[in-house]
Amino acid sequence: MMKNFFVCTYEFLGRLIFGLPRHKVFNFFKSNYMRAQGCEIGRDITFYPGIKINPARNIILGNNVDLAWGVIITTTGGVEIGDRTLIGYRTLISSANHNIPSNREHIFGSGHTAKKVTIGRDCWIGGNSVIVAGVTIGDGAVVGAGSVVTKDVKPYTVVGGVPAKFLRERD
Protein backbone atom coordinates (compact mmCIF):
# COMPACT_ATOMS: atom_id res chain seq x y z
CA MET A 1 0.00 0.00 0.00
CA MET A 2 2.78 2.46 0.91
CA LYS A 3 4.71 1.56 -2.25
CA ASN A 4 1.70 2.52 -4.38
CA PHE A 5 1.41 5.81 -2.50
CA PHE A 6 5.08 6.67 -3.11
CA VAL A 7 4.94 5.67 -6.79
CA CYS A 8 1.82 7.77 -7.36
CA THR A 9 3.31 10.72 -5.49
CA TYR A 10 6.55 10.47 -7.48
CA GLU A 11 4.66 10.33 -10.79
CA PHE A 12 2.41 13.23 -9.80
CA LEU A 13 5.34 15.39 -8.70
CA GLY A 14 7.26 14.64 -11.91
CA ARG A 15 4.23 15.48 -14.04
CA LEU A 16 3.71 18.70 -12.11
CA ILE A 17 7.34 19.83 -12.38
CA PHE A 18 7.79 18.86 -16.04
CA GLY A 19 4.47 20.49 -16.90
CA LEU A 20 5.96 23.92 -16.16
CA PRO A 21 6.89 26.20 -19.10
CA ARG A 22 10.41 26.17 -20.58
CA HIS A 23 11.45 29.47 -19.02
CA LYS A 24 14.95 29.62 -17.49
CA VAL A 25 13.59 29.87 -13.94
CA PHE A 26 11.48 26.72 -14.35
CA ASN A 27 14.33 24.87 -16.09
CA PHE A 28 16.41 25.58 -12.98
CA PHE A 29 13.80 23.79 -10.84
CA LYS A 30 13.54 20.90 -13.29
CA SER A 31 17.33 20.42 -13.36
CA ASN A 32 17.55 20.47 -9.57
CA TYR A 33 14.63 18.04 -9.26
CA MET A 34 16.63 15.60 -11.38
CA ARG A 35 19.92 16.30 -9.56
CA ALA A 36 18.19 15.50 -6.26
CA GLN A 37 17.55 12.01 -7.67
CA GLY A 38 21.19 11.47 -8.63
CA CYS A 39 21.25 12.66 -12.26
CA GLU A 40 24.21 14.44 -13.80
CA ILE A 41 22.81 17.57 -15.42
CA GLY A 42 24.88 20.17 -17.27
CA ARG A 43 24.25 23.90 -17.60
CA ASP A 44 21.52 25.62 -19.58
CA ILE A 45 19.29 22.61 -20.24
CA THR A 46 15.99 23.43 -21.95
CA PHE A 47 13.12 21.28 -20.74
CA TYR A 48 9.97 21.96 -22.73
CA PRO A 49 6.69 21.16 -20.96
CA GLY A 50 5.32 17.64 -21.07
CA ILE A 51 8.52 15.61 -21.13
CA LYS A 52 8.78 12.40 -19.13
CA ILE A 53 12.00 10.97 -17.74
CA ASN A 54 11.43 7.80 -15.78
CA PRO A 55 13.02 6.88 -13.54
CA ALA A 56 14.84 10.19 -13.12
CA ARG A 57 18.21 8.54 -12.53
CA ASN A 58 20.87 6.87 -14.70
CA ILE A 59 20.92 9.86 -17.02
CA ILE A 60 23.69 12.26 -17.95
CA LEU A 61 22.78 15.45 -19.82
CA GLY A 62 25.59 17.64 -21.15
CA ASN A 63 25.51 21.42 -21.41
CA ASN A 64 22.93 23.16 -23.62
CA VAL A 65 20.80 20.06 -24.28
CA ASP A 66 17.32 20.83 -25.63
CA LEU A 67 14.48 18.39 -24.86
CA ALA A 68 11.38 19.39 -26.86
CA TRP A 69 7.67 18.85 -26.09
CA GLY A 70 6.58 15.31 -25.36
CA VAL A 71 10.04 13.70 -25.19
CA ILE A 72 9.96 10.41 -23.25
CA ILE A 73 13.15 8.92 -21.84
CA THR A 74 13.35 5.64 -19.94
CA THR A 75 16.65 5.45 -18.09
CA THR A 76 16.76 1.93 -16.63
CA GLY A 77 19.75 0.96 -18.81
CA GLY A 78 21.34 4.40 -18.64
CA VAL A 79 21.14 7.35 -21.04
CA GLU A 80 23.88 9.83 -21.90
CA ILE A 81 23.23 12.87 -24.09
CA GLY A 82 26.17 15.08 -25.09
CA ASP A 83 26.57 18.85 -25.16
CA ARG A 84 24.55 21.00 -27.59
CA THR A 85 22.23 18.19 -28.66
CA LEU A 86 18.64 18.78 -29.81
CA ILE A 87 16.00 16.12 -29.13
CA GLY A 88 12.88 16.76 -31.26
CA TYR A 89 9.21 16.71 -30.33
CA ARG A 90 7.70 13.42 -29.12
CA THR A 91 10.95 11.49 -29.43
CA LEU A 92 11.20 8.25 -27.44
CA ILE A 93 14.56 7.17 -26.04
CA SER A 94 14.21 3.73 -24.46
CA SER A 95 17.13 2.15 -22.61
CA ALA A 96 15.15 -1.00 -21.76
CA ASN A 97 12.81 -3.34 -23.56
CA HIS A 98 10.64 -6.33 -22.75
CA ASN A 99 12.10 -9.79 -23.26
CA ILE A 100 10.42 -12.11 -25.74
CA PRO A 101 10.09 -15.47 -24.00
CA SER A 102 10.73 -18.71 -25.80
CA ASN A 103 8.38 -21.69 -26.11
CA ARG A 104 5.25 -19.53 -26.17
CA GLU A 105 5.62 -18.64 -22.52
CA HIS A 106 3.74 -15.64 -21.17
CA ILE A 107 5.11 -12.26 -22.19
CA PHE A 108 3.80 -10.64 -19.04
CA GLY A 109 6.44 -11.16 -16.37
CA SER A 110 9.17 -12.27 -18.82
CA GLY A 111 11.39 -9.41 -17.66
CA HIS A 112 13.35 -6.68 -19.37
CA THR A 113 16.73 -6.19 -21.00
CA ALA A 114 18.41 -2.89 -20.21
CA LYS A 115 21.19 -1.40 -22.36
CA LYS A 116 22.72 2.07 -22.32
CA VAL A 117 21.79 4.64 -24.98
CA THR A 118 24.51 7.14 -25.85
CA ILE A 119 23.88 10.24 -27.97
CA GLY A 120 26.99 12.28 -28.77
CA ARG A 121 27.68 16.00 -28.86
CA ASP A 122 26.12 18.36 -31.42
CA CYS A 123 23.48 15.86 -32.56
CA TRP A 124 20.01 16.57 -33.86
CA ILE A 125 17.33 13.95 -33.31
CA GLY A 126 14.29 14.81 -35.43
CA GLY A 127 10.79 14.79 -33.99
CA ASN A 128 8.84 11.55 -33.50
CA SER A 129 11.99 9.44 -33.62
CA VAL A 130 12.51 6.27 -31.61
CA ILE A 131 15.93 5.36 -30.22
CA VAL A 132 16.05 1.79 -28.90
CA ALA A 133 18.14 0.30 -26.09
CA GLY A 134 21.84 -0.26 -26.74
CA VAL A 135 22.22 2.30 -29.54
CA THR A 136 25.11 4.76 -29.79
CA ILE A 137 24.69 7.86 -31.94
CA GLY A 138 28.02 9.49 -32.77
CA ASP A 139 28.97 13.14 -32.41
CA GLY A 140 27.43 15.47 -34.98
CA ALA A 141 24.94 12.91 -36.31
CA VAL A 142 21.48 13.86 -37.58
CA VAL A 143 18.49 11.51 -37.26
CA GLY A 144 15.62 12.37 -39.62
CA ALA A 145 12.16 12.96 -38.21
CA GLY A 146 10.10 9.81 -37.64
CA SER A 147 13.08 7.48 -37.77
CA VAL A 148 13.48 4.31 -35.72
CA VAL A 149 17.14 3.90 -34.77
CA THR A 150 17.92 0.24 -34.09
CA LYS A 151 21.67 0.26 -34.85
CA ASP A 152 24.59 2.52 -34.04
CA VAL A 153 24.94 5.73 -36.05
CA LYS A 154 28.41 6.85 -37.12
CA PRO A 155 29.58 10.37 -36.27
CA TYR A 156 28.71 13.19 -38.69
CA THR A 157 26.25 11.14 -40.72
CA VAL A 158 22.59 11.63 -41.56
CA VAL A 159 20.24 8.67 -41.12
CA GLY A 160 16.51 8.29 -41.62
CA GLY A 161 13.66 5.86 -42.12
CA VAL A 162 12.17 2.80 -40.46
CA PRO A 163 14.52 1.26 -39.58
CA ALA A 164 16.97 4.18 -39.87
CA LYS A 165 19.52 3.78 -42.66
CA PHE A 166 22.54 5.79 -43.74
CA LEU A 167 21.52 8.65 -46.07
CA ARG A 168 24.70 10.70 -46.39
CA GLU A 169 27.66 12.18 -44.57
CA ARG A 170 27.50 15.73 -43.28
CA ASP A 171 29.61 18.21 -45.21
Task: Read off the CATH number of the domain in which 23 is found.
Answer: 2.160.10.10
Q: Helix (H, G, I), strand (E, B), or coil: what is residue 31? A: helix
Q: Report the predicted TM-score, pTM, of the whole model to 2 decimal places.
A: 0.91
At 10 the pLDDT is 85
The Cα–Cα gap between 22 and 96 comes to 28
Handedness of CA 156, 142, 150, 119 (dihedral sign): positive
Confidence of residue 7 (pLDDT cuts 50, 70, 90): confident
- 112 is annotated as an active-site residue: no
Confidence of residue 152 (pLDDT cuts 50, 70, 90): very high
- Span of 51-55, 120-124, 133-137, 153-157 with lowest mean pLDDT: 51-55
pLDDT digits (tens, 9 = 90+) for 92-133: 999 999 888 888 888 888 888 999 999 999 999 999 999 999
CA separation (Å) from 7 to 1, 98, 102?
Answer: 10, 21, 31
Mean pLDDT of the chain: 94
Which residues lie closer than 8 Å to 47 by C-beta, 6 or more apart?
Answer: 18, 22, 26, 27, 30, 31, 67
State the catalytic residue, choosing from 23, 98, 106, 112: 98
Domains: count for the chain: 1
At 103 the pLDDT is 84
The Cα–Cα gap between 71 and 5 comes to 26
The Cα–Cα gap between 77 and 24 comes to 29
- Range(s) of the domain holding residue 144: 2-169
